[in-house]
């Protein structure tokens, strides 16, 4: 008997070869009907024998295309229409699309074979792609995902490409960016403002220049990279100099997995991450020394080629390890528009390898680590954005604006939380513009009217994102305290909105309920009932306020002013510069001195005591330096860091560091003792608070928990206990995850219409 079913698949189902897959499956099973992309996902009408319908459903859920993620599949019986075939219908446009936009995908194995096959018509073609691979988010101008709404709109398909595009049996069937050397965009090389090589010679010529130690600006998927030979110290040095980047590590691109294995120590989880469809930069311990690439850092960040032009560069003899850093100066955002790139990179790059396909929006490379508690995302961008990371069951659109550092935003539509790509530090004017663009971009794409949305922002009255929120015509505005948002981000990711936990939020800085600079906070509660602050790091003085983040000795002056019996720190082995004395004077006079419970600044103080007495050249540098130092130390006894009366007391911890250093102990060992001591203090606090509040789970978040060594020490201490440790997996533990937590804490206000659980 012939029966009919209507199926609706939501999730990542557009731009991932889903409709062609459905088409082929229906044909195989002899089913008739249609499939189309709707605003809420893919809709399918199939009719045929009941048994075949069952097979169809099973194949759909068990063997979807690799990059597809079906979040929900609705199935209802429908009326038999008597179709005499199966067809792919044109997309329909609907209000409030909640379909998920696919992140950009790395070039697939079959396309790579064509790329290297001299007999193939796409041999050596830098813009080849298919339904399984290629650009998505970085070329999308609007929804639904169809060629006229992508940056490929200006290229008309040649007859061969058009045939593939229209042939349901072809693997390029409805591949929106389909192109070939005859009809599509190409790459060219420009030097000194003149186009020197176009067509097939551009990439080999670029590879030759890289071999010679030159610096190239190379247009990629979501922006320009600056590339140079990583094994050529003078190329690396000149890149640092021209880019005004003193010490911050450069990312590397390795020719293949074999080459990557020789650069960094990878465990199986790390290799899975490196070769995953996200193709992130993976941080791991270095096996080799590459002068100038990552000064004072025992880790290297490595990614694999992901776009066809990367493979072509390596295939044409480019050095097998390239520095591949975002093309910008210092902390500017990555350049992605051609004119802007030419202007901003003129003094940096010796030549430009420019692809003609425009980039719709800036998307940086993502950064991950195969960490102690599983894979951690430290910068969420290309390959991840703009994926939905959580279900937040509200019918109300929510726009959460994040924090001013490492900004990313979250838009909640139809109960799905979409997290934007990493945007950056809003104090940079270009980054602030990118922030505004991203708000416009995401809300336009999901057709959210801001006047109807709830806007969530940080509690900090002077954040630029707060001022932006105030100027928006919102239905309602909510301020969420920074560290509560950190904790909530962990819970939101896991859909554990009612889960009661002890939350630990440790970071550099965030505006507290009392206006103080917080950053070592313990909470109890849940997302729905709210998070109550129940303990914190003992409050210290911070001369100079947030500006102290640049000078570890300034933080040291604040924290050490709580200690008695200090030796002369201007003398060896400490050798503190004069800034320390000045900062002490500020504290004594009570001038520009603020209370703080920041663990980030405590790390700075310890780093200063062990020799990091200069200015930091990037955020978090001193803490990373201290972690690296400790990693080289033996596991000596932990220093004391007692927890009592709702306070974690740093004084004995720092005093132990001072005494050990004065006694001439090994610095690495002292750094280790500091980490182990702090871990012990956190353990004691978590155990006591879990018992007090009757919970068995601690949620850790905040930039401090990017510290692998600290996490491992805490884990080791809690190993035999009955407390679960939760950390971020989908969004960064740093401020890149704040917006998700903000959105979660905006749920459940009076009048909020909660959707039923899926």
Phi/psi of residue 513, each to 5°? -55, -35
Helix axes 552-560, 578-589, angle to 10 degrees: 40
Q: 3-state SS of 663-680?
A: CCCCHHHHHHHHHHHHHH
Residue 715 in contact with Zn ion, rule: CB under 5 A: no
Q: Are 215 and 350 in contact (CB under 8 A)?
A: yes
| Residue reference for tokens 């932006």 | 468
CB nearer Fe ion, residue 178 or residue 400: 400
* Minimal distance, residue 386 CB to Zn ion, in Å: 21
Residue 719 contacts by C-beta under 8 Å, 6 or more apart in sequence?
none
Interacting residue with Zn ion among 16, 26, 108, 622 (CB under 5 A): 108
Given Zn ion, Fe ion, none, residue 754, with its beta carbon under 5 to 8 Å by kind, binds: none
**Nearest residue to Fe ion, scored by beta-carbon proximity:** 507
Region class of 545: left (phi > 0), else alpha (psi between -120 and 50), else beta? left
The mark string for 149-188 relative to Zn ion (x by CB under 5 A, - otherwise) is ---------x--x------------------x-xx-----
The piece of 504-512, 557-565, 664-672, 725-733 that touches Fe ion (CB under 5 A) is 504-512
Residue 140 in contact with Zn ion, rule: CB under 5 A: no
Given Fe ion, Zn ion, none, residue 287, with its beta carbon under 5 to 8 Å by kind, binds: none
Other CB atoms within a 10 A radius of the CB of residue 628 amount to 16
Phi/psi of residue 730, each to 5°? -100, -40
Residue 458 in contact with Fe ion, rule: CB under 5 A: no
* Residues of span 315-334 touching Zn ion by CB under 5 A: none
* Minimal distance, residue 507 CB to Fe ion, in Å: 4
CB nearer Zn ion, residue 311 or residue 422: 311
CB nearer Fe ion, residue 613 or residue 701: 701
User: Measured between alpha carbons, how far apart are the two ends of the chain, in Å?
Assistant: 32
Interacting residue with Fe ion among 146, 404, 713, 735 (CB under 5 A): 735
Given Fe ion, Zn ion, none, residue 108, with its beta carbon under 5 to 8 Å by kind, binds: Zn ion
Interacting residue with Zn ion among 16, 68, 115, 133 (CB under 5 A): 133
Residue 197 in contact with Fe ion, rule: CB under 5 A: no
* Minimal distance, residue 557 CB to Fe ion, in Å: 23
Residue 299 in contact with Fe ion, rule: CB under 5 A: no
Helix or strand holding residue 163 (H, E)? helix 159-166
Given Zn ion, Fe ion, none, residue 16, with its beta carbon under 5 to 8 Å by kind, binds: none
Q: Are 249 and 262 in contact (CB under 8 A)?
A: no
Interacting residue with Zn ion among 111, 235, 609, 654 (CB under 5 A): 111
**Residue 299 β-bridge partners:** 285
Interacting residue with Fe ion among 132, 493, 507, 669 (CB under 5 A): 507
As given in the structure block, the two tokens for residue 145 are 């995902």
CB nearer Zn ion, residue 108 or residue 348: 108
Given Zn ion, Fe ion, none, residue 205, with its beta carbon under 5 to 8 Å by kind, binds: none
Helix or strand holding residue 303 (H, E)? strand 299-303
The piece of 123-131, 172-180, 561-569, 735-743 that touches Fe ion (CB under 5 A) is 735-743
Given Fe ion, Zn ion, none, residue 735, with its beta carbon under 5 to 8 Å by kind, binds: Fe ion
CB nearer Fe ion, residue 78 or residue 516: 516
* Minimal distance, residue 185 CB to Zn ion, in Å: 11
Instruction: Find the DSSP H helices in 412-504.
Output: 429-445, 464-471, 482-493
Q: Are 661 and 668 in contact (CB under 8 A)?
A: no
Given Fe ion, Zn ion, none, residue 133, with its beta carbon under 5 to 8 Å by kind, binds: Zn ion
Q: How far apart are CA 127 and CA 180, in angstroms?
A: 7
Interacting residue with Zn ion among 29, 35, 44, 130 (CB under 5 A): 130
Grouping H, G, I as helix, E, B as strand and the rest as coil, residue 588 is helix
CB nearer Zn ion, residue 16 or residue 456: 16
Taking only Cα atoms into account, the Rg of the chain, rounded to an integer number of angstroms, comes to 27
Residue 210 in contact with Zn ion, rule: CB under 5 A: no
| Residue reference for tokens 């726009």 | 399
CB nearer Fe ion, residue 416 or residue 507: 507
* Minimal distance, residue 721 CB to Fe ion, in Å: 27
Given Fe ion, Zn ion, none, residue 377, with its beta carbon under 5 to 8 Å by kind, binds: none
As given in the structure block, the two tokens for residue 2 are 């012939």
Phi/psi of residue 526, each to 5°? -140, 175
CB-facing half-sphere around the CA of 118: CA atoms within 13 A? 0
Burial class of residue 339 in the structure, from the number of CB atoms within 10 Å of its CB (0-12 exposed, 13-18 middle, 19+ buried): exposed
Chain centre to alpha carbon of residue 69: 19
The piece of 106-114, 406-414, 450-458, 731-739 that touches Fe ion (CB under 5 A) is 731-739
The piece of 111-119, 136-144, 402-410, 669-677 that touches Zn ion (CB under 5 A) is 111-119
Cα–Cα distances (Å) from 387 to 197, 217, 235, in that order, read 38, 28, 37
CB nearer Fe ion, residue 215 or residue 485: 485
* Minimal distance, residue 267 CB to Fe ion, in Å: 28
Given Fe ion, Zn ion, none, residue 507, with its beta carbon under 5 to 8 Å by kind, binds: Fe ion
Given Zn ion, Fe ion, none, residue 111, with its beta carbon under 5 to 8 Å by kind, binds: Zn ion
Q: How far apart are CA 549 and CA 297, in angstroms?
A: 20
Q: How far apart are CA 487 and CA 465, in angstroms?
A: 20
* Minimal distance, residue 128 CB to Zn ion, in Å: 7
Question: How many residues line the site for Zn ion (CB under 5 A)?
Answer: 10
Cα–Cα distances (Å) from 52 to 28, 46, 56, 92, in that order, read 10, 10, 6, 27
Q: How far apart are CA 125 and CA 204, in angstroms?
A: 12
- Interface ranges with Fe ion (CB under 5 A): 507, 510, 735
Binding site for Zn ion (CB under 5 A): 108, 111, 130, 132-133, 158, 161, 180, 182-183
């Amino acid at each position: 008997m012939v029966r009919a079913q209507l199926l609706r698949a939501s999730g990542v189902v557009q731009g991932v070869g889903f409709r062609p897959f459905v088409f082929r499956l229906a044909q195989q099973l002899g089913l008739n009907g249609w499939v189309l992309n709707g605003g809420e996902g893919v809709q399918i009408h199939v009719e045929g024998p009941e048994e075949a319908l069952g097979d169809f459903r099973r194949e759909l859920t068990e063997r979807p295309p690799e990059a597809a993620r079906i979040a929900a599949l609705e199935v209802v019986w429908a009326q038999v229409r008597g179709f005499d075939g199966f067809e792919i219908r044109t997309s329909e446009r609907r209000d409030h699309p909640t379909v998920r936009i696919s992140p950009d995908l790395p070039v697939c194995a079959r396309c790579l074979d064509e790329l290297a096959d001299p007999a193939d018509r796409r041999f050596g073609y830098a813009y080849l792609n298919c339904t399984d691979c290629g650009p998505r988010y970085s070329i999308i101008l609007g929804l639904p995902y169809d060629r006229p709404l992508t940056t490929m709109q200006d290229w008309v398909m040649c007859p061969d490409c058009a045939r593939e595009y229209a042939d349901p049996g072809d693997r390029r069937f409805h591949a929106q960016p389909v192109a070939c050397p005859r009809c599509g965009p190409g790459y060219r090389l420009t030097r000194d403002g003149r186009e020197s090589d176009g067509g097939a010679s551009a990439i080999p010529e670029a590879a030759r220049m890289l071999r010679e130690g030159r610096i190239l600006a190379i247009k990629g998927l979501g922006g320009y990279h600056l590339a140079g030979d990583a094994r050529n110290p003078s190329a690396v040095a000149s890149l640092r100099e021209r880019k005004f980047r003193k010490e911050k590590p450069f990312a590397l691109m390795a020719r293949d997995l074999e080459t990557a294995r020789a650069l960094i120590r990878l465990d199986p989880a790390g290799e899975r991450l490196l070769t995953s469809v996200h193709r992130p930069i993976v941080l791991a311990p270095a096996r080799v020394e590459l002068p100038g690439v990552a000064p004072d850092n025992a880790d290297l960040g490595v990614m694999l080629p992901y776009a066809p032009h990367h493979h072509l560069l390596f295939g044409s003899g480019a050095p097998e390890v390239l520095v591949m850093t975002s093309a910008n100066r210092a902390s500017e955002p990555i350049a992605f528009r051609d004119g802007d790139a030419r202007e901003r990179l003129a003094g940096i790059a010796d030549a430009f390898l420019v692809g003609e396909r425009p980039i719709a929006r800036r998307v940086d490379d993502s950064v991950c680590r195969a960490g102690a508690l599983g894979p951690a995302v430290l910068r969420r961008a290309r390959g991840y954005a703009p994926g939905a990371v959580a279900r937040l069951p509200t019918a109300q659109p929510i726009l959460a604006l994040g924090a001013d550092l490492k900004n990313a935003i979250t838009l909640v539509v139809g109960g799905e939380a979409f997290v934007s790509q990493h945007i950056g530090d809003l104090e940079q004017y270009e980054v602030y513009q990118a922030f505004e663009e991203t708000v416009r971009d995401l809300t336009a794409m999901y057709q959210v009217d801001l006047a109807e949305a709830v806007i969530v922002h940080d509690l900090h009255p002077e954040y630029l994102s707060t001022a932006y929120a105030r100027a928006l015509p919102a239905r309602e505005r909510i301020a969420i305290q920074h560290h509560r948002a950190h904790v909530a981000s962990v819970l939101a990711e896991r859909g554990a909105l009612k889960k009661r936990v002890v939350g630990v939020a440790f970071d550099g800085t965030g505006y507290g309920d009392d206006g103080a600079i917080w950053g070592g906070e313990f909470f109890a509660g849940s997302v729905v009932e709210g998070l109550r602050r129940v303990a914190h790091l003992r409050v210290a003085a911070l001369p100079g306020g947030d500006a102290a983040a640049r000078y570890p000795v300034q933080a040291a002056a604040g924290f050490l002013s709580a200690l008695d019996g200090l030796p002369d720190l201007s003398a060896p082995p400490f050798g503190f510069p004069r800034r320390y004395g000045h900062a002490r004077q500020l504290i004594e006079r009570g001038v520009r001195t603020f209370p703080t419970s920041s663990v980030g600044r405590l790390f700075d103080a310890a780093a200063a005591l062990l020799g990091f007495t200069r200015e930091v050249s990037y955020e978090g540098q001193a803490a990373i330096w201290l972690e690296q130092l400790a990693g080289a130390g033996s596991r000596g006894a932990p220093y004391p860091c007692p927890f009592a009366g709702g306070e974690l007391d740093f004084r004995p911890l720092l005093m132990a560091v001072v005494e050990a250093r004065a006694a001439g102990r090994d610095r690495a060992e002292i750094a280790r003792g500091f980490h182990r001591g702090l871990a012990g203090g956190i353990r004691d606090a978590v155990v006591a608070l879990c018992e007090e509040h009757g919970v068995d789970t601690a949620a850790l978040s905040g930039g401090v928990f990017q510290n692998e060594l600290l996490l491992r020490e805490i884990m080791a201490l809690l190993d035999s206990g009955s407390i679960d440790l939760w950390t971020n997996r989908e969004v960064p533990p740093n401020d890149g995850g704040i917006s998700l937590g903000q959105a979660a804490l905006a749920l459940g206000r009076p009048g909020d219409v909660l959707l039923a659980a899926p």
